[in-house]
A and B are shown apart, each in its own frame.
Chain A
Amino acid sequence: MLELKNLSFQVRDDNGKKEILQDVSLVIEERSFVVITGPNGGGKSTLAKLIMGIESPTSGQILFNGEDITALGPTERAARGIGFAFQQPVRFKGLAVRDLLSLAAGKTLNTEEACAYLSEVGLCALEYIDRELNASLSGGEMKRIEIAMLMAQGTSLSVFDEPEAGIDLWSFQNLIRAFEKMRDAHNRAVVIISHQERILAIADKVVVIAGGRITTTGNKEEILPSLLGNPDSCEFFRGAV
């Protein structure tokens, strides 16, 4: 479904060029559940932005269903079926939850349809549907609405950047069930950036990124013991695992 070939991403700062990602290659299959993990600052969120087209790689190639989409922006990638839930959801003065869900779905949703998506993420739908996405919503509420937007968008590849952060009252089990449902519907793929053991535990594939490189890729049975059971967690942060 998605193939990343030798992706690199550099930025310029006061000290010259800085490598954020180096030579990252990865294949994400249909109907798979891939969790990308690793230490903070390792390049995970940048990789998600490269997949969505929010950032452009310095070098390398991105193929989606066989098409080279490296030069395409987020609008064109969304049209091809890629969606992205931001780590920090964006607030909009004046736009209501219903408006954003309708924009995501590409059609005007009636109350019943919009409520169905909100219920999936554990929000009492009628209380939220006409609320503005402004500062009155908590971080956890914004995160759930962000997830509901991706459900409404119905993308074939859905990328979530730390979706569990700030999810409080809504039980984790519901969150995981929602992700599994997304993956199982029509052979879709779900990519989640997460540090959460319970999300790692349901992954088909775990990718560890540290220091801008993929240090390990494998199934959870291979990777989890080294991540969770390693007495010297510093090795993890050095990218040694």
Chain B
Amino acid sequence: MNPDEIKVLETIAGLSGFPEGAFNIRVNGGSAGRSSTANVKIEPKALGSGIDIHVAPGATETVHIPVVISESGVVETVYNDFYIGEGADVVIVAGCGIHNCGANLSQHDGVHSFHIEKDARVVYSEKHYGDGDGTGGRVLNPVTNVFMQPGSYMEMDTVQIEGVDSTKRVTNADLADGAVLVVKEKLMTHGEQYAETFFEVNLNGEDSSCNLISRSVAKEQSKQLFLSKISGNNKCMGHSECDAIIMDDASVKAVPEITANHVDAGLIHEAAIGKIAGEQIMKLMTLGLTEAEAEAQIINGFLK
């Protein structure tokens, strides 16, 4: 990997080289390194179109699967399938970074499917990032399909702070009895960027629950669209919260949808869009910060 690629890898996955344990590092459409462990098997699909990750029942491990694109003009769709064994407890560090210094579009569409067995726990962290001074677009369109068996738990922490011109994120989840899904999304757009998030969660099992929390900041002329659909098909709890700070000439649209198909389904949606409160800026100025410093602190805290 060259220095630009290593910088991107550090930003998205906190890695300066190959990590301990199981990993697959994909660079410009090929594997730059791959390793399995006794409990985590990573196997490539045919023609480099993705990987299968099998986690043994009861295993406790961290798996790194970051993606780096540094060649302008790489456009790929990658399918990664995760099979998480019963009672396993894994942390999966994904993420994708594009360094585009050329004039051509660079695009990574990652389609991830999680098959999470009974009582297994998954914490999935995904950071998206773009840099490079080329005129070519940097586009990321992740699709995540989650199939959760009884008593399983999944937490998705997704972050996109800078440099991605366009993104369309789709997350679909089906939850069985007692399954719990937590999603924490953080997003900042600027310039002419566009970001769209779509969640569709089916709470099929008794006592299943989901909590979707999206915090975003839209600056300059950027546009954001937040869509969420939660269906309560059993005795369940569903909560989604979209909280956005709008600045400059940006546009933010939130479209919540909650559907109860069972009398004991408890569903809540909260959405708030607004500019930074003047009194917040003023309070920090009385502590000695300039207006610009105050604004930066408020945004950093909001997206922390």
Contact = CB atoms under 8 A, between A and B. Distances in A.
Q: Do A and B come from one complex?
A: yes
Q: Which of B283, B286, B288 has the most CB of A within 10 A?
A: B286
A90 interface: yes
Contact of B282 (A74, A95, A149): A74
Contacts of A100: 287
Contacts of A42: none
A104 B288 CA distance: 8
Contacts of B290: 75
B286 A103 contact: no
B287 A78 contact: yes
Contact of B285 (A75, A104, A149): A75
Given A79-B288, A90-B280, A103 B297 contact: yes
A86 B285 CA distance: 12
Contact of B283 (A73, A86, A94, A99): A86
A92 interface: yes
Nearest to A79: B288
A94 B287 contact: no
Interface in B266-304: 277, 279-280, 282-291, 297-298, 300-304
Contacts of B282: 54, 74, 90
A12 interface: no
A84 B304 contact: no
Contacts of A54: 282, 286
Interface in A12-54: 52, 54
A93 B301 contact: yes
Interface residues on A, range: 20 to 34
Contacts of A149: 287
Interface residues of B, number: 22
Interface in A62-113: 73-75, 77-79, 83-84, 86, 89-90, 92-96, 99-100, 103-104, 106
B243 interface: yes
Interface in A177-212: none
Contacts of B301: 92-96, 99
Interface in A99-155: 99-100, 103-104, 106, 149, 153
Given A95-B297, A103-B297, A73 B285 contact: yes
Interface string A217-237: 000000000000000000000
Given A90-B283, A94-B304, A95-B298, A103 B277 contact: no
Given A54-B282, A74-B282, A86-B283, A92 B288 contact: no
Contacts of B300: 94
19 contacts: A73-B285, A74-B285, A75-B288, A75-B291, A89-B283, A90-B277, A90-B280, A90-B283, A92-B298, A93-B301, A93-B302, A94-B303, A94-B304, A95-B298, A99-B297, A100-B287, A103-B297, A106-B288, A153-B288
Given A75-B289, A94-B301, A103-B297, 6 more contacts: A52-B286, A75-B285, A78-B285, A90-B283, A92-B298, A93-B215
9 tightest CB-CB pairs across the interface, nearest first? Answer: A94-B301, A95-B301, A78-B288, A74-B285, A90-B283, A94-B302, A74-B286, A75-B285, A104-B287
Interface of A: 52, 54, 73-75, 77-79, 83-84, 86, 89-90, 92-96, 99-100, 103-104, 106, 149, 153
